[in-house]
Amino acid sequence: MKKLWKLTAAACAAAIMVTGCGSQKTEDAVDLREVPLETIIEKAKEEGAIASVGMPDDWANWRGSWENITTAYGLTHEDTDMSSAEELSIFESEKDAATKDIGDVGQAFGKTAVEMGVVQPYKASTWDSIPDWAKDPDGNWVITYLGTMSCLVNAANVDETIDSWEAIKNSDCKLTIGDVVRSASSQMSVLSCAYALGGDITNIDPAIEFFKELAADGRLDAAEYSQERMERNEIDVSLTWDYLSLQYRDMVLEAVPEADIECHVMRDGAIQSGYCLVINKYAPHPYSAALTVEYMLSDEGQIDRARGYARPIRSDVELPEELADKMIADSEYMNTIPLTDNEAVSAVCTEIAARWEEEVIPLMN
């Protein structure tokens, strides 16, 4: 499973200091934006392979896309699971002998990738149907799917209906939130709480105070979520993106059909954010990377994301009815809060990580 500890931009910068910056490649690189799609397909088939980072089979149904790409174009695929900061760091550290082609990083890391100069641009043929806020104007990164903050509830442990931060506050359930110092999704849980309790992306004080109270009361679970822990009833409530909550629900029910698991989008603080594709500037298979972006933003690729319960970034893609029926009801998405200011997202992630380490962790037991 893809690691949830997507590091903050500050941590990413620290990682790069360790690996060193070195010199850029001097040979002229092809501008993939200027290459006809037919040529990209032809040359990708010649390359015959694609190596990704942070895009494992069991995250948002990447498996389905990789299988389809292999079937259609004959590309062999391998993935190395790692955090956003690690993805960008390996692009940088391996630039003289690159082994990775493409990565999937948290929304706040698109800007970081450009600032580091480790990505190369490409614009898929469906570029115009992607919202402006969800793509770099030059094509250096593009969001391909969205998640909305949700809760996964083990009703065997929790009597109350948990579908909001207010419900969490008024209950005695224990909260599994993951590694807030390093995980983008965990940081977004904190931001969700801030919105629910009267704050926003510029004011996370309400959330920090709330989590300090939970920590002092012993209601914060310091361990990571795992299917095994949920099956053993060691988890009450877990906060993460809706597509992960739904996937986790299915996995638990497949193993323990009698389990009582509920998934809800948060009725308060339902922030919505995405992950974006970035092509390694030094990719050994640049045409395969471009073709991958092309496929992921095609109708078929977007439907693949929906099969993994993620919301496609393209609103002009019609989902099969059987997929729509398996999602959380649309009525629970009435009060979503789209995060479209990427610089603000990056800044608040850094603040959340720092304040969690300084103010919340010392109170956890």
Q: One digit per residue, pLDDT tens: the chain, 365 residues?
A: 444 333 344 444 433 333 333 333 435 579 999 999 999 999 999 999 999 999 988 889 999 999 999 999 999 999 999 888 899 999 999 999 999 999 999 888 898 999 999 999 999 999 999 999 999 999 999 999 999 999 999 999 999 999 999 999 999 999 999 899 988 889 999 999 999 999 999 999 999 999 999 999 999 998 889 999 999 999 999 999 999 999 999 999 999 999 999 999 999 999 999 999 999 999 999 999 999 999 999 999 999 999 999 999 999 999 888 887 777 888 888 889 999 898 899 899 999 999 999 999 999 97
| CA–CA separation, 211 and 291 (whole Å) | 44
Domain 147-271+329-363 has CATH 1.10.260.40: no
| CA–CA separation, 74 and 84 (whole Å) | 28
Do 9-14+31-146+273-326 and 147-271+329-363 fold alike per CATH? Answer: yes
9-14+31-146+273-326: CATH superfamily: Periplasmic binding protein-like II (3.40.190.10)
Whether the Cβ atoms of residue 364 and residue 21 lie closer than 8 Å to each other: no
pLDDT at 205: 98
Spans of all domains in the chain: 9-14+31-146+273-326, 147-271+329-363
The DSSP-derived string for 182-237 is T-HHHHHHHHHHHHHTT-BTTB-HHHHHHHHHHHHTT-EE-SPP-HHHHHTT--SE
Per DSSP, 128 falls in state G
Residue 155, amino acid: A
* Tokens of residue 296, six digits: 């992921």
Q: Write down the pTM of the prediction.
A: 0.80
